[in-house]
Amino acid sequence: MDTLVYGGGAVLFFALIMLSIALHEIGHMVPAKLFGVKVTEYFVGFGRTLKSWRRGETEYGFKLLPLGGYVRLVGMYPPAKDTGKVRAGSSNPVAGLIDASRDAEWSEIQPEDDGRLFFQKKTWQKLIIMASGPLMNIVLAFFILWGVMGTYGVYQSQTVVQTVDQCVVPAQEAGRECAPGDPETPAHAMGLRPGDRIVEFNGTAIHDWEQMRVLIRENLDQPATITVERSGERVVLPTTDTMITGVPDLNNPSKIVEAGFLGVAPTVERVTGGPGMVVEQMTDMTVQTFHALLRFPVLVYQTAADLVTGQERDPYGPMSIVGASRAAGEISSTDQISAADKVASFVSLIGSVNLFVGLFNFVPLLPLDGGHILGAIIEWIRRQGARVFGRNDPGYLDTAKFLPVAYVVFVFIAVSGVILIAADVVSPIRLFG
């Protein structure tokens, strides 16, 4: 039964993510059609066509490999200045690279298509067309997470003390009991107790635990004076130096850094919230995603190295859609959390993946949507600059010249995908022990 639930959860999650990707491409297609761009294809998946039908000038359908989708917009790149040829392109990375050569498809452009080609559209129209795809995923993430946070809630650390560590245990030895010679924690030394509500740290009013955590880390080994509410009274605890120790980095939990340490754990409560809370959570997730994207090549390399050497995989490392689907299956079948927590975690995972897909596609490199957005912005800047300085209109920016970069990016994405899928199959990240 557990296997059936696991498989069902994984398949359902995968199907919902494919639906999200299909909506991503709809995000491109709808404004493109509204602005008069010729759209010839809309497909879910890649490879051999399984089923298709035509509505007007657009062919819709499903491909054999359910690993994404694409919408084909005609005239993604302007004509080459030497030949006047125009290629048909795609908003999707894989389909765009298949169509990489301008000469290969310029014959698809008919004389009556003049004015309906993507590159001919105004800058603001191009921006809307290309941004609407990833924005679709971000909007989906917002409403999904709002649904979870507004109805069931999310678990958040509070400013009330749950436990006080008696001794300092190195991060790499977390979980063991205190041993002779282990130094006393500052929290234990100053007399913090479970149930204390922390209201001030060195004169700064404390509003949430995240604020408290940052203040502790930044205090290093300097004196700390903490005020708590205890039994209805405010109590100023004896000033004690915090201490420097190795703790997980806030933006890269797999990395241990030196920071201030107190030795206290907060209580965790389930709280609900509205749009403001969702925006705050998504902002934090966006910052974390940004840092993860900056480290992505290194993280992929480390995953590959761990896979080859048989080392234990970094639990905070990246995963593919296969890994995310396995995680969804694990959430569905575990007996370590309640049924309500399962549903909330499952749905939140869908929202988180949508947020990542949206942000990833905004990376300003072809063949990603962000590359086309950057091209439209550069084209506008060139034209405005020419207008200001009284020069001739430089014309359309030939983004086809950036195709070598697109190929490199595509190869990297493809190789990374293969590595992560292999790692997710051989050595998956497990959410529960």
182 vs 331: CA distance, rounded Å: 37
Cβ–Cβ < 8 Å for 24, 137: yes
DSSP assignments along 208-263, one per residue: SHHHHHHHHHHHTTSEE-EEEEETTEEEEPPPEE-EEEEEE-SS-TTSEEEEEE--
Reduce the DSSP state of residue 361 to 3 states and report it.
helix
Comparing C-alpha atoms, which of 128, 111, 153, 172 is closest to residue 28? 128
Reduce the DSSP state of residue 336 to 3 states and report it.
coil
Residue 397's φ and ψ, nearest 5 degrees, are -75, 125
Comparing C-alpha atoms, which of 76, 22, 112 is closest to residue 373? 76
H or E stretch including 154? strand 154-164
Tell me, yes or no, if 173 is annotated catalytic.
no
159 vs 206: CA distance, rounded Å: 8
Comparing C-alpha atoms, which of 158, 98, 129 is closest to residue 36? 129
DSSP assignments along 372-407, one per residue: HHHHHHHHHHHHHHHHHTTPPP--S--GGGGHHHHH
- Of 25, 41, 105, 379, the catalytic one is 25
Would you tell me the crossing angle of helices 339-361 and 275-294 to the nearest 10 degrees?
60
The residues carrying an active-site annotation are: 25
